[in-house]
Structure 1
């Protein structure tokens, strides 16, 4: 991964005013990917939106890390079911016409 495709963990934590242990917990739980680029821990750009949502849950709603893990898993399941419903509806339209 290139350096222009990621943000350092340090920069993210300073900007969002979160502790490094929060990012470590999310990475250890498998909720986000953290990579190393030139010996600097970085967050890929495709993870930023998801991570910012988790930060808002933590800071604004005061949800702990375990709660965030549960919410993230439920949101992923909902998104998967929505994609499946979209697929099934498109298949259904084939038979309706």
Structure 2
């Protein structure tokens, strides 16, 4: 993975004023992928928006790590259901015409 496509965990934590242990917990729970590049722990760019959402839940709403994991799981399920509903609606339009 190229260095331009990742952000170091240290930089992310300093910028967002979040504890390193929080990011470690999310990585252990499988909610964010952390890669190593030259012994530096890095977060892929495509993971940043989801991680920032979880950080906001943790800092602004003061939700603990387990609560953030649960909320993230529920949001994923909602997103999957919305995609499935969209697909089913498009399939239904075929029969309505």
Which bin holds the TM-score, normalised by the shorter protein? over 0.9
Spell out, residue by residue over 1:52-90, the C-alpha distance to the aligned partner (whole angstroms, 9 max, x if none). 000000000000000000000000000000000000000
CA RMSD of aligned residues (A): 0.4
Q: TM-score, normalised by structure 2?
A: 0.99
Q: TM-score, normalised by structure 1?
A: 0.99
Spell out, residue by residue over 1:14-51, the C-alpha distance to the aligned partner (whole angstroms, 9 max, x if none). 00001110000000000000000111000000000000
What count of residue pairs does the alignment treat as equivalent?
97
Distance 1:27 1:50 in 2: 12
Residue ranges of structure 2 left out of the alignment (5+ in a row)? none
Residue ranges of structure 1 left out of the alignment (5+ in a row)? none
Structure 1 outlier segments of 4+, above 6 Å: none
- Superposition pairs for residues 15-34 of structure 1, below 5 Å? 15-34=15-34
- Superposition pairs for residues 25-44 of structure 1, below 5 Å? 25-44=25-44
